[in-house]
């Protein structure tokens, strides 16, 4: 199955006409779409393995920029970037939103999530809320191998 998907994706990519000039090709929203396509389908992209190894691809509808634009333009702002709500799911309308750099940083799969009093936040969010030095806390967790809750409580 996986080989079939890869084979069909390479046919699709190969069929793109590189000389085609899109009416939005100079706009940031078009470049956002291009980068999604490159991350997923270009083996030369350094992020390619992060997507194919986890079966993260783009929905058929978004293989055409016009469809991506129709779905996402309404809330688009120049200073925002595209983000998948669930990092383990594909790129499609219901799983994508526009987010600030800070919001995206809090949605990375490498984040440390801590639950305190029924609230779950990233380590960065807890440090910000409690006015704690992130570097000191992360050292306690990664180097000293402390439990995250203990590292936050002892300051």
> Which pLDDT value is given to residue 21?
56
For residues 56-82, give the mean pLDDT: 94
Q: Hey, where are the domains in the chain?
A: 2-105, 113-153
74-112 pLDDT, tens per residue?
Answer: 999 999 999 999 888 999 999 999 999 988 888 887 888
> Quick one: the chain helix, strand, coil %, rounded to 5?
50, 10, 40
Taking 80 as the threshold, does the pLDDT of residue 18 lie above it? no
pTM over 0.75: no
> Which pLDDT value is given to residue 15?
44
| Mean pLDDT, all residues of the chain | 83
Task: Say what percent of the chain tops pLDDT 90.
Answer: 49
**DSSP state, residue 83:** E
In whole angstroms, what is the distance from residue 18 CA to residue 34 CA? Answer: 12
Q: Name 115's Cβ contacts closer than 8 Å, sequence gap at least 6.
A: none
Taking 60 as the threshold, does the pLDDT of residue 9 lie above it? no
Angle, helix 2-14 to helix 28-41, in steps of 10 degrees:
140
Q: Report whether 152 contacts 126 (CB < 8 A).
A: yes
Residue 120: enclosing H or E segment and its boundaries?
A: strand 119-122
In whole angstroms, what separates CA 134 from the centre of its chain? Answer: 23
> Which pLDDT value is given to residue 104?
87
């Amino acid at each position: 199955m996986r080989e079939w998907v890869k084979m069909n994706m390479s046919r699709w990519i190969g069929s793109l006409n590189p000389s085609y000039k899109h009416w939005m090709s100079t706009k940031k929203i078009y470049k956002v779409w291009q980068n999604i396509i490159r991350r997923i389908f270009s083996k030369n992209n350094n992020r390619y393995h992060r997507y194919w190894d986890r079966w993260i691809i783009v929905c058929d509808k978004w293989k055409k920029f016009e469809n991506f634009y129709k779905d996402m333009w309404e809330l688009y702002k120049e200073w925002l970037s595209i983000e998948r709500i669930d990092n383990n799911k594909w790129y499609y309308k219901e799983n994508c939103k526009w987010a600030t750099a800070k919001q995206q940083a809090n949605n990375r799969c490498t984040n440390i999530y801590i639950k305190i009093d029924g609230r779950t936040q990233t380590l960065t969010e807890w440090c910000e809320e409690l006015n704690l030095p992130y570097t000191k806390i992360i050292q306690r967790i990664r180097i000293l191998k402390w439990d995250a809750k203990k590292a936050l409580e002892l300051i």
